[in-house]
Amino acid sequence: VHLLCVFIYLVCFCPASRAQGSASSVPAIPNPFPELCGPAKSPVLIGSLPPTSTNKHLIKVYGEDSHSRSVWVSRGSTAREVCHLLVQTAHCSDQENWALLELHPTLGLERCLEDHEVVLEVQATWSLKGDTRFVFCKNYAKYEFFRKPTLFFPEAMISDSADVTKGMTSSDLIQNLLRSGTCPEIQGFLQVKEPSRKSWKKVYFFLRRSGLYCSTKGSSKEPRHLQYVADLDDLNVYTVVNSLKLYSAPSDFTFCIKGSRNPLRVQDLKILCAENEQTRTCWTSAFRLFKYGKQLQSNYQLSKSQSTSEASLVAMDFSGKTGGRVIQNPTEAQSAEREEGQAWRVRRRRRMDRQCARSPHVCVCSFAAIHKSQPWFHGGVSRKDTQRLIEKQGLVDGLFLIRESQQHAQCFVLSLCYKLKPKHYLVIPCEDDGRKYFTMDDGVTLFIDLLQLVEFHQINKGILPVCLKHPCVCVAL
């Protein structure tokens, strides 16, 4: 019937028929099926058609589950704008701490695009035959060096030639430099891969505002012993994944630098290896700050203005009759935190007892599997992949996930980041009065399920060095 109506409409009322004079005396009748004759307005086809503006370009972005989504972006779209577009289309729960990752799987290279970088300009440097891709993921550590600079720039790595005012500590120096849009000069030994060979050589490097230098004689910084290596304005810094296998690196803490405008070729990579994660993070952070300077500070301020800061959260006491009051004393605030945590646990236990009394079988099943629907639960992921996932989403204090233990049956592992290092805590099931619980401290503190364990430690440190803050999530597009 629909096709017959369309046929009659096309024969009688289309512009081509009126041009022949057959419809000049017929009154205009609205099209009863505009979605069939106007594909530009069709709700079915609109997703597959390009925008009317010629300034739009199609890019493909992958999630961490290897599924991809194609999005139309304008010529000048920045990484921050593309992330916000993906947040809306993927219906993500929060708006901040998202990042666009440039990934080169074959070479094992990846880097987080800066918020102000133009996405299409980055894509234009890729080889057409390569497997380079954009990955949409979490990154909590993009601007962490602004919040905890002394952790990212240890005093031992600050160059002796840094301009230190009399009486100024290294912490004050770093704070002043970061506020001015730069960072202190960095120095130290790095292992560098020799060109066209698998061997590595230990070299002393200096990173200054004018560029990257290496010493040809030990750790000497005399001008005649310094050799120019790279210009900071024309390079990108990448983290190297699986460097032990791909490049026979001395350790996993590997990174590389490459010209930002050159095509990605192995012979153009300057691959460097640090002795630990803090050293690698110091070098890569310094590269970013020297290259972008005030722009990174502007990005950080914009990000901070559009998100809820931890400093805006205060402890409150609502026990009085006059309303709530802000708890100023830190000791009193911690005591109130512990009391609230214990009260919450009692309420949760009573609620569970009532539910189990009504339907015991359903209660046991639901509480046993309640953690599987949580974003912080990652199933049977290995310890190595866990550390890799935490590193990718940002080595910030409080980043965590829970996974199944591969060495202990029916146990779980809480993996938590603290001071740039992932730490792992075994969660053991136990029984008390015929009930099953979970514990991390040999039964001193018991939890009825993993969800209660997480929610409790989000407000109480307990045996952990820091409260749980940021769930390590796997993004699906």
Calculate mean pLDDT across residues 14-27: 44
The predicted pLDDT at position 89 comes to 82
Domain housing 166: 144-305
CA–CA separation, 166 and 188 (whole Å): 24
Structure tokens at 365: 């099943």
What is the number of structural domains in the chain? 5
Tell me, yes or no, whether 236 and 380 share the same domain. Answer: no
* Residue-level pLDDT at 48: 45
What is the average pLDDT across 246-273?
88
Token pair of 256 as six digits:
């590389």
Q: Is residue 103 part of a domain?
A: yes
Of 233-242, 248-257, 360-369, 420-429, the least confident: 360-369
Residue 261's CATH number: 2.30.29.30
According to DSSP, the β-strands at 226-230 and 235-240 are unpaired
Report pLDDT digits (tens) over 393-432.
989 999 999 999 999 999 999 999 999 899 999 999 998 8
Residue 191 pairs with which residues in a beta bridge?
202, 273
Say what the pLDDT of residue 354 is: 66
Average pLDDT, the chain: 80
Give tens-digit pLDDT for 153-175: 988 899 765 554 455 677 777 88
For residues 166 and 294, membership in a common domain is answered with yes
Distance CA 471, CA 393 (A): 10
Collect all residues with Cβ–Cβ distance below 8 Å to 348 and sequence separation of at least 6: 448, 452
Residue 187 counted as domain residue: yes
**Whether residues 264 and 246 fall in one domain:** yes
The domain boundary, picked from 90, 122, 138, lies at: 138
On whether both 62 and 133 belong to a single domain, the answer is yes
Ranked by mean pLDDT, which of 27-41, 236-250, 345-359, 365-379 comes out on top? 236-250
Q: Which residue has the higher pLDDT, 324 or 445?
A: 445
Question: Is residue 402 domain-shared with residue 291, that is, in the same domain?
Answer: no
Highest mean pLDDT among 253-262, 342-351, 421-430: 421-430
The total number of residues shown for the chain amounts to 477
Main-chain dihedrals φ then ψ at residue 29, nearest 5 degrees: -115, 130
For residue 384, is it left (φ>0), alpha (ψ between -120 and 50) or beta? Answer: alpha
Question: Is the pLDDT confidence value at 247 over 60?
Answer: yes
Report which of residues 30 and 22 the model is more confident about.
30
pLDDT at 58: 93
Residues 352-402: tens digit of each pLDDT:
666 656 655 544 444 456 788 888 999 999 999 999 889 889 899 999 999
Pair (200, 334) in one structural domain: no
Instruction: Specify the higher pLDDT residue, 67 or 160.
Output: 67
246 in the same domain as 200: yes
Instruction: Give rounded-to-5 percent helix, strand, coil for the chain.
Output: 35, 25, 40
Residue 364 domain-assigned (yes or no): no
The more confidently predicted of residues 360 and 192 is 192
- The answer to whether 476 and 464 are in contact (CB under 8 A) is no
Q: pLDDT per residue over 262-294, tens digit each? A: 777 778 889 999 999 999 999 999 999 999 989
23 Cβ neighbours under 8 A, 6+ residues apart: 12, 13, 17
- What pLDDT sits at residue 95? 74
Domain of 463: which CATH number?
3.30.505.10
Contact 415, 400 (CB under 8 A): yes
CB 84 within 8 A of CB 78: no
Residue 379 covered by a domain: yes
**30 C-beta neighbours (distance < 10 Å), count:** 7
**Residue in the block written with tokens 């009317």:** 52
Flag whether 362 is in a domain. no
In a domain, 6, yes or no: yes
pLDDT for 49 equals: 52
Question: Do 161 and 272 lie in a common domain?
Answer: yes
Contact 320, 332 (CB under 8 A): no
- 299 and 214 within one domain: yes
Pair of tokens at residue 417: 């980041």
- Say yes or no to pLDDT of 334 above 70: no
- The Cα–Cα gap between 445 and 345 comes to 11
Residue 113, domain CATH = 3.10.20.90
Quick: pLDDT tens for 91-118. 776 777 899 999 999 999 999 999 999 9
**What pLDDT is stored for residue 253 in this prediction?**
95
- Whether 363 maps to a domain, the answer reads no
Q: Are residues 91 and 225 in the same domain?
A: no
Query: Which is more confidently placed, 337 or 154?
Result: 154
Residue 310 is assigned to a structural domain of this protein: no
Using a 10 angstrom Cβ sphere, with 0-12 exposed, 13-18 middle and 19 or more buried, the burial of residue 290 is: buried
46-60, 76-90, 395-409: range with lowest mean pLDDT: 46-60
**What CA–CA distances, in Å, run from 421 to 148, 277, 325, 378, 415?**
15, 8, 37, 19, 10
For the CA atoms of 293, 300, 396, 288, the dihedral, rounded to the nearest 10 degrees, stands at: -20
Mapped onto helix, strand or coil, the DSSP state of residue 148 is coil
User: For residue 71, how many other CB atoms are within 10 A of its CB?
Assistant: 20
Tell whether 34 and 60 lie within a shared domain.
no
Same domain, 152 and 293: yes
Let me know: does 448 contact 437? Beta carbons within 8 Å: yes
Which pLDDT value is given to residue 347? 64
**pLDDT band per the 50, 70, 90 thresholds, residue 119:** very high
